[in-house]
Amino acid sequence: AQKITQTQPGMFVQEKEAVTLDCTYDTSDPSYGLFWYKQPSSGEMIFLIYQGSYDQQNATEGRYSLNFQKARKSANLVISASQLGDSAMYFCAMRDSTDKLIFGTGTRLQVFP
Amino acid sequence: EAGVTQSPTHLIKTRGQQATLRCSPISGHTSVYWYQQALGLGLQFLLWYDEGEERNRGNFPPRFSGRQFPNYSSELNVNALELEDSALYLCASSFMGQGANEQYFGPGTRLTVT
């Protein structure tokens, strides 16, 4: 069965430091997509970054990068130079063969001054 | 460009009633997805519509249903409401083409069943 696992319920990071949010996945499909979303307290899900299973390079989007290790089935999100506005829930998701997104349980990130 | 919109923002119903939630996708997007996020939990996939047809549904009872209109907007109906249906309902849209096909989410409708 396809599954996303986020083992860190909460993380703390000091402003301007980098932080890594863990995500592992399980699928038998050779083709899949991995996503990270941010959910502030307002509730809206904000798309951050995407990695395709056949992409050779790790995805980057500004301060966000995805550390994709296919053999280990991990897709960790790295946020560099954390800002107070980064405090939110972060969800890792996988698009399965039927095109729906399967989400992990999320990691609550708190950035402190 | 306008994002995904959802209405209403909040909805309060009593057990046994019906709820109707609405979603308008981003212009040009033909796919609409519905997710349920119960308090403190991750998102659970509910339904996917594309080009007016239901393409997939998650592990939810038949009293959760919906439809997609010719303008690609969508409606989620929940019949015979139960207390555990209280949740944030998120709608997302995407364009089904090559590439990431990332889903863009609306602000959600918070449904409270009393």
List the structure tokens of A66. 């995805």
In this structure, of A48-57, A91-100, B92-101, the range with the lowest mean pLDDT score is B92-101
Backbone angles phi, psi at B98, to 5 degrees: -70, 150
Which is nearest to A100 in space by CA: B32, B40, B15, B89? B32
**Contact with chain A for residue B67, Cβ under 8 A:** no
The helix (H) or strand (E) run that includes residue A63 is none
What average pLDDT does range A34-57 have in this prediction? 92
Q: For residue range B17-58, list pLDDT tens digits in order.
A: 999 999 999 999 999 999 999 987 789 999 999 999 999 999
Q: What is the dihedral of CA B110, B42, B24, B100, to 10 degrees?
A: 170
Provide residues of A within 8 Å CB-CB of chain B: 33, 35, 37, 42-47, 50, 52, 91, 93, 95, 98-106
Q: Are A43 and B45 a contacting pair at CB < 8 A?
A: no
Asked if pLDDT for residue B87 goes beyond 60, the answer is yes
- Distance between CA atoms of B48 and B52, rounded to whole angstroms? 10
Q: Which ranges constitute the DSSP H helices of A1-113?
A: none
